């Protein structure tokens, strides 16, 4: 129905413009009145008009990173963000996304981004209805199979920064254990949903920690929301009550770091590793660092190709080698030698000598669904990376290459969903 109404509105507008053809009023020159305005690109930065659909707003660290990233990319490319970018905030992962995408297309945007995984199917619907507009989901897993030339997916190698932030946490955990302050190397993680994006992140985080404390293990508490400060704080408190001394997160507010700081101020030995933004403002002594994405790189690279009239990749994913991921500055209570350990980890990831998901570094129980195979010691020997039939079980696309799981290579959206030994999900239901 919404597609029909959108097409009907377009027809009505066309007839209205024809009826007003003899008007003496000055034309606004808006893209909506120009049949060529929605062509993919005219080769000039001045001719691009961009839409960004955000699942939340500037108060969410994740959305803030997108807003700032797109703005920075525009500045670098000579695009006037004030006149050439339209932002849509607090757009839910439902039909509201389709409506927002249609509105942006009708307002003359010739390339439209959305920043949440749950937007992807609605962006696809809009791409079908507006073939002359390019739609880019950050993130999504449908572009490669959509059959559409104007629908794209992109996402950074978030697992790389998760791993390095884990090295930071591991350095602190080792310091605490060496001093006898902590005897149980138990860490916690506040996750939004049990999606592959979250699973690959907390797995990389633990693997980074285990480079310093091999016996470290983790418990995960899901909030079932990308942004819920109260639920994130409650989850962090629940994990700390269970003995977790470092709390990581893949959720978009400051709820977890704030809760950790409150417990630390009350005398507990606890620390936080955040996501999206530097958390030192809300957790000045508890925050060790945050895993971050440099969205300006992905927006810049995509827009650069779009403006030049080049093909925008169907799936685009990059990491530290292109400066697309990073961690925030180290907190004041990080262990001595942390910066050196961080530098070494980044260097090894860049030169390829360090593979985050090296299968010799973790074990798994046999897969009941057949999505991966393990040897007698529990090391993964083969794993599928893609789901061909939509049943949420990976059944095609070999992801194990040279003894490592190749994340975000078969497509841009994360697909590492293996549950490794040493991680317990407390409420995956």
pLDDT for position 392: 86
Q: What is the pTM of this model?
A: 0.87
pLDDT tens digits, residue range 125-178?
A: 999 999 999 999 998 899 999 999 999 999 999 999 999 999 999 999 999 999
pLDDT for residue 17 is more than 60: no
Burial of 129 (0-12, 13-18, 19+ CB in 10 A): middle
3-state secondary structure of 186: strand
pLDDT for position 18: 33
pLDDT tens digits, residue range 42-68?
A: 468 999 999 999 999 999 989 999 999
d(CA 43, CA 36): 13
pLDDT for residue 180 is more than 70: yes
| Alpha helices (H) along 179-212 | 196-210
d(CA 177, CA 166): 16
pLDDT tens digits, residue range 338-387?
A: 999 999 999 999 999 999 999 999 999 999 999 999 999 999 999 999 99
pLDDT tens digits, residue range 280-292?
A: 999 999 999 999 9
State the residue for tokens 């417990």.
Answer: 263
What's the mean per-residue pLDDT of the chain? 90
d(CA 226, CA 193): 8
State the residue for tokens 């660092």.
Answer: 289
The H or E element containing residue 344 is helix 338-351
**Best CA proximity match to 399, nearest among 384, 389, 416, 420:** 384
pLDDT for position 21: 35
pLDDT tens digits, residue range 204-236?
A: 999 999 999 999 999 999 999 999 999 999 999
Which residues are bridge partners to 97 per DSSP? none
Say what angle helices 2-19 and 120-129 make with each other, to 10 degrees: 40
d(CA 424, CA 334): 26
Instruction: State what percent of residues in the chain have pLDDT above 90.
Output: 86
- Sequence-ordered list of residues with C-beta below 8 angstroms from that of 108, at least 6 positions apart, any chain: 30, 31, 32, 34, 37, 38, 49
pLDDT tens digits, residue range 230-266?
A: 999 999 999 999 999 999 999 989 999 999 999 999 9
3-state secondary structure of 196: helix
pLDDT band, very low/low/confident/very high, at 31 (cuts 50, 70, 90): very low
pLDDT band, very low/low/confident/very high, at 429 (cuts 50, 70, 90): low
Q: What share of the chain is helix, strand, coil (3-state, %, to 5)?
A: 40, 20, 45
pLDDT band, very low/low/confident/very high, at 428 (cuts 50, 70, 90): confident
Residue range 18-24: average pLDDT? Answer: 33
């Amino acid at each position: 129905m919404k597609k029909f109404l959108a097409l009907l509105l377009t027809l009505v507008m066309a007839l209205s413009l024809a009826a007003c053809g003899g008007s003496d009023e000055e034309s606004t020159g808006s893209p909506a009145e120009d049949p060529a305005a929605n062509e993919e690109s005219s080769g000039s930065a001045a001719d691009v008009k961009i839409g960004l659909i955000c699942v939340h707003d500037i108060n969410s660290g994740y959305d803030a990173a997108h807003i700032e990233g797109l703005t920075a990319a525009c500045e670098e490319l000579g695009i006037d963000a004030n006149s050439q970018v339209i932002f849509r905030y607090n757009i839910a992962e439902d039909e509201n996304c389709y409506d927002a995408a249609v509105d942006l297309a009708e307002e003359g945007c010739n390339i439209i981004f959305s920043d949440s995984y749950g937007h992807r199917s609605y962006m696809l619907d809009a791409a079908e209805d507006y073939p002359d507009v390019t739609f880019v989901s950050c993130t999504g897993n449908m572009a490669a199979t959509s059959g559409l030339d104007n629908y794209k997916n992109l996402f950074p190698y978030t697992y790389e920064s998760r791993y390095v932030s884990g090295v930071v946490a591991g350095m602190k955990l080792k310091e605490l254990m060496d001093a006898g302050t902590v005897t149980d190397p138990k860490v916690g993680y506040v996750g939004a949903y049990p999606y592959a994006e979250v699973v690959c992140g907390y797995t990389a985080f633990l693997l980074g920690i285990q480079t310093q404390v091999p016996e470290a293990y983790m418990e995960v508490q899901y909030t079932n929301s990308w942004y819920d400060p109260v639920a994130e704080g409650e989850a962090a408190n629940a994990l700390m009550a269970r003995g977790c001394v470092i709390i990581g997160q893949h959720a978009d507010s400051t709820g977890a770091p704030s809760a950790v700081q409150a417990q630390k101020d009350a005398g507990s030995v606890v620390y936080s590793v955040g996501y999206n933004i530097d958390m030192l403002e809300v957790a000045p002594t508890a925050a060790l660092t945050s895993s971050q994405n440099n969205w300006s790189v992905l927006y810049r690279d995509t827009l650069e190709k779009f403006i030049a009239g080049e093909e925008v990749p169907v799936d685009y994913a990059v990491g530290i080698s292109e400066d697309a991921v990073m961690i925030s500055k180290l907190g004041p209570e990080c262990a001595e030698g942390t910066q050196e350990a961080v530098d070494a980890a980044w260097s090894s990831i860049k030169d390829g000598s360090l593979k985050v998901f090296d299968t010799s570094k973790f074990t798994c129980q046999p897969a009941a669904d057949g999505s991966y195979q393990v040897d007698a010691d529990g090391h993964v020997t083969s794993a599928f990376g893609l789901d061909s039939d939509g049943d949420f079980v990976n059944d095609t696309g070999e992801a194990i290459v040279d003894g490592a799981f190749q994340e975000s290579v078969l497509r841009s959206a994360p697909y590492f969903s293996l549950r490794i030994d040493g991680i317990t999900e407390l409420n995956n239901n």
